[in-house]
């Protein structure tokens, strides 16, 4: 009840601030930040989590907040920005690329947002990024990490590192965990993220003489993955890199378990937190599976994000992507604050500057010259007794 | 706001071409094509590939996309032309999925060109000329809207003219059953084939226009649900009437996007919202609400206006 009351109070406050521009400033004066996120469809859990992360950051800036910096100091920002509260406008993109473009266009052309935040899927982020760049609107992606995003243009920034960085990490983890690895198999969804991961993993493997003997790209939302699993295991790879989420994760892990695949011994997952909630009812199918995940846990994450999230929403963060949403919104606010205006070029330039100094709850968000996050810490985890715990190779 | 309306009119105009194409196949010829989106996809991909990899002009790309989709229409009709309507429908759905899976799994030159990544940076017609002339993006969007509307009008007039020709009348006869056209010595399979080719060409042309407007396509744009949205437009407007297909498109496009403004409309006017109404205004509820609204409208139309909002005018002959 206490959580619910707090959540209601915070949400009501945020909603009031969002809807009416909190305080005495008029809606016209408010700095508008737009967010498009999948609140319905296949990615709705991630979408809601990202929305919550962004809302937490905006609520803090609107209330006035001491933002932590990398040099150990803090920078007081707010209440609000440029003398007025931030007006966050959220649009559902239905997990569909065309609806994502509709939402982004509405945010830019009707609402006139200064910064656009979103999304998680690379396939939906890419066209919106192109559009935003063409119209010189700063766009910050939260969780999309296909390699092709690098070329979008100068107004595009990515708060999460590109998928390529995870490939070498998975290979290194497999080698440390099971020793002599000569062959690798991969099973990833046939989407920009999955194919990007496959390319990055096999390239990292080839660089040290490991051969990718089976590369399976599965269609999402199928009702049977046994043919894919049989194809994956037929050449008997020493180790397997995989990724799945939602109902697909449950089915793939359950069918692998039923087929007698030694997932606990040989499978290494990318972004493993994605399926933890999905296998909660049948934890035995994932027992012992190891993998990497964005290392967002830490003192700053615990004190500044997780505790506030639990306070506001009465439950643990749904995924890691809410934290990236929080950082994306903080960067946007810091950049507008530093630019001293909502001019796109001034915000774009300020984005590079503030990314070098802001201490994010997901780590160091410094952007390279293409606006891509340069550093990303990955933690190694093992799924045991129904939860993910840090893994240390024996 | 004007910019957004121009965008909606442009994408709505392109969707209307798809609806017209489907209306030719279903409304006139009775062909239940559940793979309509395949034409759209082929038109977009082939045009982008011709321009970006083949180095040809955008006009040639659009022409190539149109012809390729027409040929696919023929290819789709050839082995299935003799199938009964239900089997025909299933085969078109399968054909569209084959096309989507082909593009989903095919890289063109580089691993990041094609496949799941799609094609980005697709050139837009006369874009450079607009930039060199110092004209703005708004000017260009207005130009593209003009291009789409002129094309839509041309397609509308051509298809309506076609419906009145002996070819169109034969298609209508086929729609009512094969017996009459067969008794008149008409080769039914040949007419179906031509209907699919023309429908394919229109759908492919729309796909090419979309690819060059959006400057990005990937297989996520061409999933089966998109075909069913086009079907909703045709059924709502009135199958068999080309004006109905356009009206249906306008309604569906309006429902899809107007719901985005409900919440801000309420907040701007300080409306007192009850908890239930406030819940409905949440973005995560408005999304599914759109589909519920569209489904409800279709149900009501089927129940009370089975021939659609703008029914086909059927000529009555002497009794």
- Is cis: bond before A79, omega within 30 of 0? yes
pLDDT at position A78: 78
Beta bridge partners of A214: A185
pLDDT at position A66: 94
CB burial of residue A346 (10 Å; 0-12, 13-18, 19+): middle
Q: Which of residues 50-69 of B touch A (CB under 8 A)?
A: none
Confidence of residue A80 (pLDDT cuts 50, 70, 90): very high
CA diameter of chain B: 69
Residue B176 CB coordination number (10 Å): 10
Angstrom distance (rounded) from CA A373 to CA A145: 10
Among B8, B111, B256, the residue with its CB nearest the CB of A199 is B111
Contacts of A194 in chain B (CB under 8 A): 116
A23-27, A35-39, B77-81, B182-186: which has the highest mean pLDDT? A35-39
Question: Percent of chain A having pLDDT more than 90?
Answer: 64
Contacts of A109 in chain B (CB under 8 A): 1, 3-4, 7
Q: What would the pLDDT profile of B221-245 be if each residue is shown by its tens digit?
A: 999 888 999 999 999 998 889 999 9
* Residue whose tokens read 């999460």: A160
* Optimal mutation site among B10, B260, B293, B294, interface A, most CBs of chain A within 10 A: B260
* Helix (H) / strand (E) containing A335: helix A321-339
Residue, of B42 and A193, whose pLDDT is higher:
B42
Q: Where are the alpha helices (DSSP H) in chain B?
A: 2-22, 36-52, 58-77, 85-104, 127-132, 137-164, 166-175, 179-183, 188-214, 224-237, 242-258, 262-268, 275-280, 283-304
pLDDT at position A280: 87
Q: At what angle do helices B188-214 and B58-77 cross, to 10 degrees?
A: 150
Could you list the beta-strand ranges (E) of chain A. Answer: 31-37, 65-68, 74-77, 86-92, 115-117, 138-141, 156-158, 183-189, 211-218, 239-242, 267-270, 290-294, 359-360, 363-364, 378-384, 387-390
Whether the CB of B136 is below 8 Å from some CB of chain A: the reply is no
In chain A, what are the helix, strand and coil shares in percent, each to the nearest 5? 45, 20, 30
Beta bridge partners of A116: A34, A139
Confidence of residue B46 (pLDDT cuts 50, 70, 90): very high
Q: How many domains does chain B have?
A: 1
Q: Has residue A348 got a pLDDT over 80?
A: yes
pLDDT at position A26: 45
Q: Has residue A24 got a pLDDT over 70?
A: no
* Average pLDDT score over residue span B41-52: 97
At B102 the three-state DSSP class reads helix
Contact B1 A135 (CB under 8 A): no
Contacts of A190 in chain B (CB under 8 A): 104-105, 116
pLDDT at position A137: 96
Q: Has residue A5 got a pLDDT over 70?
A: no
Whether the CB of A98 is below 8 Å from some CB of chain B: the reply is yes
Q: Is residue B25 part of a domain?
A: yes
Structure tokens at A317: 């963060």
Structure tokens at A291: 């993998």
Structure tokens at A280: 């909660």
What lies within 8 Å, CB to CB, of B1 at 6+ separation is A109, A110
Contact B120 A109 (CB under 8 A): no
Contact B220 A110 (CB under 8 A): no
* Optimal mutation site among A11, A96, A318, interface B, most CBs of chain B within 10 A: A96
ipTM of predicted complex: 0.82
pLDDT at position B271: 56
Q: Has residue A3 got a pLDDT over 50?
A: no
Contact A40 B284 (CB under 8 A): yes
Question: Percent of chain B having pLDDT more than 70?
Answer: 91
pLDDT at position B240: 87
Confidence of residue A45 (pLDDT cuts 50, 70, 90): confident
Question: Percent of chain A having pLDDT more than 70?
Answer: 92
* Optimal mutation site among A195, A197, A218, interface B, most CBs of chain B within 10 A: A195
pLDDT at position B109: 84
At A235 the three-state DSSP class reads coil
Confidence of residue B45 (pLDDT cuts 50, 70, 90): very high
Q: Which of residues 190-209 of B touch A (CB under 8 A)?
A: none
Confidence of residue A274 (pLDDT cuts 50, 70, 90): confident
Q: Is residue B214 part of a domain?
A: yes
Q: Has residue A25 got a pLDDT over 60?
A: no
CB burial of residue A63 (10 Å; 0-12, 13-18, 19+): middle
At B144 the three-state DSSP class reads helix
Phi, psi of A317 (to 5 degrees): -50, 135
pLDDT at position A9: 41
Phi, psi of A338 (to 5 degrees): -70, -35
Q: Has residue A1 got a pLDDT over 70?
A: no
Q: Is residue B290 part of a domain?
A: no
Q: Is residue B242 part of a domain?
A: no
Contacts of B214 in chain A (CB under 8 A): 101, 127
Q: What would the pLDDT profile of B70-104 be if each residue is shown by its tens digit?
A: 999 999 888 877 777 778 888 999 999 999 999 99
* Average pLDDT score over residue span A166-192: 91
Q: Is A164-295+379-390 the same fold as A2-163+297-376?
A: yes
Structure tokens at A368: 């390279």
CATH 3.40.50.2300 applies to domain A2-163+297-376: yes
* Helix (H) / strand (E) containing B217: strand B216-217
pLDDT at position B162: 95
Q: Has residue B130 got a pLDDT over 50?
A: yes
pLDDT at position A18: 39
Supply the Cα-derived Rg of chain A in whole angstroms. 21
Contact B7 A109 (CB under 8 A): yes
Minimum Cα–Cα distance from B286: chain A residue: A92
Contact A110 B105 (CB under 8 A): no
Please choose, from the candidates B305, B318, B283, B7, the residue with its C-alpha nearest in 3D space to the C-alpha of residue A91: B283
Q: Has residue B53 got a pLDDT over 50?
A: yes
Q: Has residue B311 got a pLDDT over 90?
A: no
A315-324, A345-354, A368-377: which has the highest mean pLDDT? A345-354
Confidence of residue B274 (pLDDT cuts 50, 70, 90): low
* Average pLDDT score over residue span A149-158: 93
- Is the separation of the CB atoms in A149 and A159 below 8 Å? no
Share the mean pLDDT of chain B: 88
Task: For chain A, give every domain's residue range.
Answer: 2-163+297-376, 164-295+379-390
Contact A127 B215 (CB under 8 A): yes
Contacts of B267 in chain A (CB under 8 A): 19-20
Please choose, from the candidates B67, B248, B92, B241, the residue with its C-alpha nearest in 3D space to the C-alpha of residue B168: B241
* Average pLDDT score over residue span A155-170: 88
Among A39, A111, A130, the residue with its CB nearest the CB of B216 is A130
Interface A-B: count of C-beta contacts within 8 A: 102
Contacts of A98 in chain B (CB under 8 A): 11, 221, 226
Distance from CA of A154 to the nearest CA of B (A): 15
Confidence of residue A366 (pLDDT cuts 50, 70, 90): very high
Half-sphere exposure (Cβ direction) of B236: Cα atoms closer than 13 Å: 24
Angstrom distance (rounded) from CA B319 to CA B130: 61
Domain with B39 in it: 2-221
- Classify domain A164-295+379-390 at the CATH superfamily level: Response regulator (3.40.50.2300)
At A98 the three-state DSSP class reads helix
Q: Has residue A21 got a pLDDT over 60?
A: no
* Average pLDDT score over residue span A371-386: 90
Distance from CA of B151 to the nearest CA of A (A): 22
Distance from CA of B206 to the nearest CA of A (A): 15
Q: Has residue B281 got a pLDDT over 80?
A: no
pLDDT at position A16: 37
């Amino acid at each position: 009840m206490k959580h619910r009351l707090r959540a209601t109070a915070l949400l009501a406050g945020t909603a009031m601030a969002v809807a009416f521009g909190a305080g005495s400033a008029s809606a016209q004066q408010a700095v508008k930040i737009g967010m498009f996120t999948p609140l319905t469809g296949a990615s709705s859990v991630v979408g809601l989590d990202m929305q919550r992360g962004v809302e937490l950051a905006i609520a803090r800036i609107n209330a006035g907040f001491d933002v932590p910096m990398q040099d150990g100091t803090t920078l007081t920002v707010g209440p609000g920005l440029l003398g007025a509260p931030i007006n966050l406008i959220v649009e559902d993109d239905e997990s569909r690329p065309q609806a994502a473009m509709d939402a982004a266009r509405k945010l830019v052309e009707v609402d006139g947002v200064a910064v656009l935040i979103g999304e998680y899927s690379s396939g939906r982020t890419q066209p919106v990024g192109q559009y935003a760049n063409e119209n010189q609107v700063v766009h910050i992606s939260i969780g999309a990490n296909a390699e092709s995003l690098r070329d979008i243009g100068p107004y595009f920034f990515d708060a999460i590192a590109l998928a390529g960085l995870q490939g070498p990490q998975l290979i290194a983890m497999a080698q440390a965990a099971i020793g002599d690895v000569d062959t690798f198999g991969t099973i990833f969804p046939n989407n920009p993220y999955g194919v990007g991961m496959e390319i990055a993993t096999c390239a990292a493997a080839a660089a040290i003489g490991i051969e990718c003997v089976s590369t399976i790209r599965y269609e999402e939302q199928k009702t049977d993955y046994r043919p894919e699993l049989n194809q994956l295991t037929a050449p008997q790879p020493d180790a397997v890199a995989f990724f799945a989420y939602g109902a697909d994760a449950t089915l793939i892990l359950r069918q692998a378990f039923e087929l007698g695949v030694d997932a606990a011994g040989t499978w290494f997952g990318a972004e493993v937190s994605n399926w933890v909630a999905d296998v909660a009812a049948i934890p035995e199918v994932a027992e012992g599976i190891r993998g990497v995940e964005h290392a967002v846990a830490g003192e700053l994450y615990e004190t500044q994000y997780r505790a506030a999230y639990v306070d506001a929403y009465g439950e643990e963060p749904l995924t890691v992507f809410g934290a990236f949403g929080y950082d994306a919104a903080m960067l946007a606010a810091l950049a507008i604050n530093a630019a001293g205006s909502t001019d796109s070029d001034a915000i774009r330039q300020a984005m590079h500057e503030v990314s070098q100094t802001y201490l994010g709850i997901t780590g160091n968000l410094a952007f390279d010259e293409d606006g891509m996050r340069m550093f990303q810490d990955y933690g190694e985890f093992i799924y045991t007794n129904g939860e993910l715990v840090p893994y240390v190779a024996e | 706001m004007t910019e957004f309306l121009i965008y909606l009119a442009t994408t709505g105009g392109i969707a209307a071409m798809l609806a017209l194409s489907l209306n030719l196949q279903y409304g006139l010829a009775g062909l239940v094509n559940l793979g309509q989106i395949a034409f759209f996809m082929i038109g977009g991909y082939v045009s982008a590939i011709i321009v970006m990899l083949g180095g040809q002009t955008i006009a040639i790309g659009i022409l190539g996309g149109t012809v390729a989709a027409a040929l696919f229409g023929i290819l789709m009709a050839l082995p299935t032309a003799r199938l009964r309507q239900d089997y025909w429908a299933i085969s078109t759905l399968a054909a569209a999925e084959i096309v989507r899976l082909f593009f989903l799994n095919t890289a063109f030159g580089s691993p990041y060109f094609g496949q799941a990544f799609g094609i980005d940076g697709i050139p837009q017609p006369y874009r450079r000329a607009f930039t060199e002339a110092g004209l703005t993006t708004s000017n260009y969007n207005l130009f593209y809207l003009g291009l789409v509307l002129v094309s839509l009008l041309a397609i509308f007039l051509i298809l309506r003219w076609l419906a009145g020709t002996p070819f169109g009348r034969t298609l209508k006869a086929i729609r009512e059953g094969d017996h009459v056209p067969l008794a008149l010595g008409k080769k039914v399979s040949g007419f179906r084939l031509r209907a699919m080719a023309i429908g394919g060409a229109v759908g492919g042309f729309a796909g090419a226009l979309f690819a060059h407007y959006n400057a990005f396509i990937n297989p996520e744009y061409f999933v089966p649900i998109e075909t069913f949205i086009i079907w909703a437009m045709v059924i709502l407007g009135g199958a068999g009437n080309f004006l109905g297909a356009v009206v249906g498109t306008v309604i569906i496009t309006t429902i899809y996007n107007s719901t985005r403004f409900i919440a801000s409309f309420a907040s701007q006017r300080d409306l007192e919202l009850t908890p239930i109404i406030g819940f409905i205004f949440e973005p995560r509820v408005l999304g599914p609400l759109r589909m519920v609204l569209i489904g409800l409208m279709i149900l009501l139309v089927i129940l009370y206006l089975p021939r659609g909002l703008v029914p086909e005018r059927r000529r009555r002959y002497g009794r």
